[in-house]
């Protein structure tokens, strides 16, 4: 095969570590009759055990001339890039046709920022998530809770890590999720937390999901119900509850509390060792969900129900920060319980809601638990849309 008439694909892989080249280079070239007629895709993976950079390099050349622009963007968070890269390209016939100065994004002399867990556990864990008048502390250090929602039971487990990794890459430091009672106890006394024999069992490995969140450097805000709403069937309450005609859901009704207790006796022990203070990811636990929508119609509100949930958490060793969440403008403090911080759910009127929340609990920081970007549709009703302006 002659020099001017070769049709070959060249696959070059270079891998190394510790004192060697720390890059994996995949280079594919196609050529014909002495000309580079195709695109060169160069992907560089750089890190110690992680992919940190993706480099896209596009070159087109013809008879010794570089005819396209070379764009190389390098992003790094491994400490600091200590060199500026100068790439000189030489083309055919012994002439230097172009000198390309690649642009490198880097920090000079900036120390590598530690991961979330690295920072908040440095020196040992002395305390979990706590509140001051205007801020949160995690293990004694200030923290701003920027979190997003991923419902593990709505995502195929094969995609859990992908979704969690994308959440962390977007700058979030935590993930929030509900736990649906009706999926974890589909029949009375039949529990499935990922170890059952149904086709949905893999979706129910909540412990696996929470551990995976920690592996992806995400803290966890957990909302175990028993009622979760979440635009989920019956708010997560099992349908078999209604076989008992004496039962009243979301109340201190003895029959309801009995079933709830049996469920929590299985669930809560799974969570105890996953708390931040035990080396796990859970930093906060929600009590019920938007109970203010029920309580505001009661005189007086059935706060004994909320106190029972909180008490059961504590009996099982769940000491993480407790909170309630409500649409504060309409519910005010009706869904609250002593010993749990109130949070706001909203999609508008934020200033009004947060001003009211601060008035209701002046000794606590402001916390938005749900910031809605959309809303649901009911069958046969007009489809809801929202603009970015709203």
Active site residues: 290, 370
SS3 221: strand
Contact 292, 305 (CB under 8 A): no
The conformation of residue 196, written as its DSSP 8-state character, comes to: S
Contact 236, 182 (CB under 8 A): yes
Q: What is the 3-state secondary structure (H, E, C) of 354-388?
A: HHHHHHHCCCCCCCEEEECCCCCCCCCCCCCCCCC
The conformation of residue 7, written as its DSSP 8-state character, comes to: -
For tokens 């502390």, the residue is: 137
In the chain, what is the greatest distance between 2 CA atoms, to the nearest angstrom?
Answer: 93
Task: Return the structure tokens found at 45.
Answer: 């993976």
d(CA 116, CA 114): 7
d(CA 204, CA 378): 27
Angle between helices 254-272 and 303-315 (to 10 degrees): 30
Contact 353, 346 (CB under 8 A): yes
Spatial neighbors of 188 by CB under 8 A, at least 6 apart, are 238, 240, 259
d(CA 91, CA 163): 44
Own/partner pairs for 28-34, CB < 8 Å, 24+ apart?
31/6, 31/7, 32/5, 32/6, 32/7, 33/4, 33/5, 34/3, 34/4, 34/5, 34/63, 34/92
Helices (H), 51-158: 116-120
């Amino acid at each position: 095969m002659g020099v001017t008439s070769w049709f070959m694909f060249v696959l070059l892989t270079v891998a190394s570590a510790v004192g060697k080249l720390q890059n994996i280079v995949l280079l594919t070239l196609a050529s014909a009759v002495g000309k580079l007629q195709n695109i060169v895709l160069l992907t560089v993976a750089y890190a110690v055990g992680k992919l940190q950079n993706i480099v896209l390099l596009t070159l087109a050349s013809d008879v010794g001339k570089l005819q396209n622009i070379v764009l190389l963007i390098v992003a790094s968070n491994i400490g600091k890039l200590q060199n500026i890269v100068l790439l000189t390209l030489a083309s055919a016939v012994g002439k230097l046709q172009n000198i390309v100065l690649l642009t490198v994004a880097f920090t000079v002399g900036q120390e590598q920022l530690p991961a979330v867990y690295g920072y908040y556990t440095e020196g040992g864990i002395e305390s979990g998530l706590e509140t001051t008048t205007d801020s949160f502390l995690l293990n004694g250090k200030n923290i701003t809770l920027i979190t997003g929602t991923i419902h593990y039971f709505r995502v195929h487990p094969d995609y859990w890590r992908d979704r969690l990794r994308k959440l962390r890459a977007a700058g979030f430091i935590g993930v929030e999720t509900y736990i649906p009672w009706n999926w974890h106890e589909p029949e009375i006394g039949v529990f499935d937390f990922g170890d059952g024999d149904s086709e949905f069992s893999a979706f129910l490995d909540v412990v696996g999901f929470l551990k995976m969140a920690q592996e992806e450097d995400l803290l966890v805000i957990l909302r175990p119900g028993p009622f979760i709403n979440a635009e989920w069937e019956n708010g997560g309450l099992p349908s078999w509850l209604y076989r008992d005609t004496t039962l009243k859901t979301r109340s201190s009704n003895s029959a309801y509390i009995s079933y709830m207790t049996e469920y929590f006796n299985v669930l809560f022990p799974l969570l105890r060792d996953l708390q931040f203070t035990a080396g796990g990811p859970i930093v906060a636990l929600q009590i019920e969900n938007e109970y203010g929508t029920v309580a505001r119609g009661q005189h007086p509100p059935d706060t004994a129900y909320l106190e029972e949930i909180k008490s059961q958490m504590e009996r099982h060793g769940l000491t993480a920060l407790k909170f309630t969440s409500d649409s504060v403008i309409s519910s005010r403090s009706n869904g609250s319980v002593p010993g749990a911080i109130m949070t706001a759910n909203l999609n508008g009127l934020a200033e009004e809601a947060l001003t009211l929340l601060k008035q209701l609990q002046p000794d606590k920081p402001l916390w938005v638990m749900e910031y809605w970007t959309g809303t649901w549709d009911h069958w046969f009703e007009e489809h809801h849309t929202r603009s970015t302006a709203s």
